[in-house]
Amino acid sequence: METLNVSQTGRVATVTLDRPDVRNAFNDQVVVELTKVFREMDESVQVVVLQGVGKSFCAGADLNWMKKSATYTQEQNADDARAMLGLFDAIDSFAGVVIGRVHGAALGGGVGLVACCDIVVATERAKFGLTEVRLGIVPAVISPFVVAKIGVNHARRYFVTGEIFDAQTACRIGLVSEVVADDEALDLKIGELTQAVTGNGPIAVKESKKLITEVTTRPREDALEYAVQTIARLRVSKEGQEGLSAFLEKRKPGWQ
């Protein structure tokens, strides 16, 4: 990988955007590599920490990439957008838990990455912005994920103003889960969260994430039946039986 660093310790993987000279901005290579990482992640991984090196988390699109896209035809731009959409979908639909570690700036597509994370922790000095309208375009590709995260009301403001907002605002509108003082506190909180997730049943964690998608996208009757069948299936599963036995016997479950 030329634009990323990927490491794994136990059931936790860390994916690091590694283009500090351009504030970890996107280009076509970043899109390809990041998509590949999330599509081909080892099944043993329960948590992915997504972060950036240098001064920013991700400052949106790379200037040179933007210059190149300015010469594209509409069809070429559509192909480019589909590739980008595939990246966000890969992160959003990843079976495990994705925790965003955000510092510095998260702008444009960087906000898209944040929106696709399950849990996001940011430093109080982090800045966010859906700045596409300043360039005469719109946050189209990231819109399904951002709107799902912050809701229509907030999208109607920040999509059209292009304003930069702080971490506390990002937390208030639902883009960020928690705000901490600095990088040290950021690492401490990320450690606490990864420990909390990995202390739970690996299958149960993935099924919990899937459950949210299923019950919010299926028709009501299908969603209710899915909920019933899911708990019935997991109660009799090997992991479910082990968890119940461990609780009744007052011992740690095998996955710990």
Mean pLDDT of 6-15: 96
61, pLDDT greater than 90: no
The predicted structure's pLDDT at residue 25: 94
Chain CA centroid to CA 51, Å:
10
65, pLDDT greater than 90: no
The predicted structure's pLDDT at residue 105: 97
The predicted structure's pLDDT at residue 70: 82
* pLDDT band of 101, cuts 50, 70, 90: very high
The predicted structure's pLDDT at residue 62: 87
34, pLDDT greater than 90: yes
52, pLDDT greater than 90: yes
The predicted structure's pLDDT at residue 75: 93
The predicted structure's pLDDT at residue 22: 94
Read off the pTM.
0.95
1, pLDDT greater than 90: no
* pLDDT band of 208, cuts 50, 70, 90: very high
The predicted structure's pLDDT at residue 115: 98
The domain ranges of the chain are 4-198, 202-248
The predicted structure's pLDDT at residue 69: 83
209, pLDDT greater than 90: yes
* pLDDT band of 12, cuts 50, 70, 90: very high
238, pLDDT greater than 90: yes
CATH of 4-198 given 3.40.350.10, 3.90.226.10, 3.40.50.300, 3.30.200.20: 3.90.226.10
